[in-house]
Structure 1
Amino acid sequence: MRTDAVRGHLDGLLLAVLEPGPLHGYAIITAVQQRSSGALELRTGTIYPALNRLERLGLLRSSWQSMGERRRRCYQLTETGRRGLAVERTQWQEFTTAIGAVLNPDPSPQGVT
């Protein structure tokens, strides 16, 4: 899938994969890839700036966690992030309904009385 197809929807994707609980960056990339059956492949250069921006907006919070010898920054939704995810889902439904109506119009005759 084209990389630019994700543009405009990245925030919603990131918030959605963090809904079940905290994840570190690579796990976020993997979760998006798995949920999309491999159709969406995010790059680290794409998600980290977005995660930092979402954190500045108060939608996420992060903390450093040790995993063996490594330290990883883990991200999780805030309450504001959960509300933001609900808004993203509503906007996505409205968007897909509108696009679907154009791409797959109802074949029934219009204006027939």
Structure 2
Amino acid sequence: MQLIACPWCGEREEIEFHYGGQAHIAYPDDPYALDDEQWAQYVFFRDNPQGPFAERWVHSAGCRRWFNALRDTVTHEFLAIYGVGAERPLTTGTAPAEQRKSQEAGR
């Protein structure tokens, strides 16, 4: 079972969370001006990278709050957890749990 670090509740099992799709997708400025092809692009078409990917998650069985996560799609490792309004962090290549372990070891 994978642990996901909720920004408000701490680490919890993955079954408490639901995936919410790609993060940082801007709502159209004038949605009434979009044709069917443009709506299809907005609603259905998303990036599918191999490597770090910004995603939205909700802690549905806990605090029920949304947050963003930077996750490696190859290893499923969470590289960073951050707020919905925050900018995507730089890719560090180290998961938050590993960062804490290395910081605690350095004390």
Give your verdict on TM over 0.5.
no
* TM-score (norm. length: structure 1): 0.24
Q: Would you tell me which structure has more helix in proportion to its own residues?
A: 1
Q: Would you tell me which structure has more strand in proportion to its own residues?
A: 2
Larger-gyration structure (1/2): 1
